[in-house]
Amino acid sequence: MSALPIAVHGRPRGFVDWQPRPNTAALVQQVRTVLDEYRQHLPLTLRQVFYRLVGKHGYPKTERDYKALGEVLNRARRARMIPFDAIRDDGMTRLDNVGWESIDECRNAIQDTADRYRIDRQRGQARRIVLWCEASGMAPQLSRAGEPYSVPVYSSGGFDSVTVKHDMAQTFAACPVKVLHIGDHDPSGVHVFGSLAADVTAFCK
């Protein structure tokens, strides 16, 4: 397969032929190992792959190496060495305005919704459980874990804005809530949790 045209700034476009150097090929193989290890949780974000490479394969934990990994995955996916649907990018907002193709399509969608009906598993509990994740990339995996128990997952990616904390306070004020916070256990992560807990609690009053 021949490569598609190169843009004026030198970056490839579309699918490409690519023969990585041995050290880069080894990195691509390590990424494949990570994706296979987490195949039940795909797609992963670039940052999730990065941290797993750091923890398991000794990949350098620097912003420079994080960006380099992004470039390698860009090429590897264009070269069909890594499936596009194995990596998730949460940076795009999509708002669809679509209609039904037919009455039958609408009926089938409604039937599917009815088939998935379930009562709120937390209904009637004295205190509701919610999961709050510092890293937005983990939210889909956590949601799958919490779904059988009707446990919602929240994340705004790092430090939460005052708008987010005020809105959540209004939501949590309706009944007692236990927030299970998942984040980095370092000074920044502790500060994220402390700021969230203090502000949400204050807004609930």
- The pLDDT, as a whole number, for residue 9 is 60
Supply the pLDDT for residue 195: 87
One-letter amino acid at 103 equals: I
* Predicted local distance difference test score (pLDDT) of residue 147: 93
Block residue for tokens 């990596």? 87
- Measure the CA–CA gap between 61 and 23, rounded to whole angstroms: 17
CA distance 74 to 68: 10
- Looking at residue 1, its pLDDT comes to 43
Please give the structure tokens belonging to residue 202.
């204050």
Q: Which residues of 100-124 are buried (b: 16+ CB within 10 A; e: fewer)?
A: eeeeeeeeeeeeeeeeeeeeeeeee
Determine the CATH number of domain 122-204. 3.40.50
Supply the pLDDT for residue 135: 84
Q: Which helix (H) or strand (E) holds 112?
A: helix 103-115
| HEC sequence for 149-177 | HCCCEECCCCCCCHHHHHHHHHHHCCCCE
Q: pLDDT by residue for the chain (205 residues), tens digit each?
A: 445 455 556 677 889 999 999 999 999 999 999 999 999 999 999 999 999 999 999 999 999 999 999 999 999 999 999 999 999 987 777 778 778 899 999 999 999 999 989 999 999 999 999 999 988 888 899 999 999 999 999 987 777 788 888 888 888 888 899 999 998 888 888 888 888 888 888 888 7
- What local confidence, expressed as pLDDT, does residue 10 receive? 67
What pLDDT score was predicted for residue 80? 94
pLDDT given for residue 75 in this prediction: 93
What pLDDT is recorded for position 130?
Answer: 94
Q: What is the largest CA-CA distance in the chain?
A: 64
Residues 167 and 124: their CA atoms lie apart, in Å, by 23
pTM flag (> 0.75): no
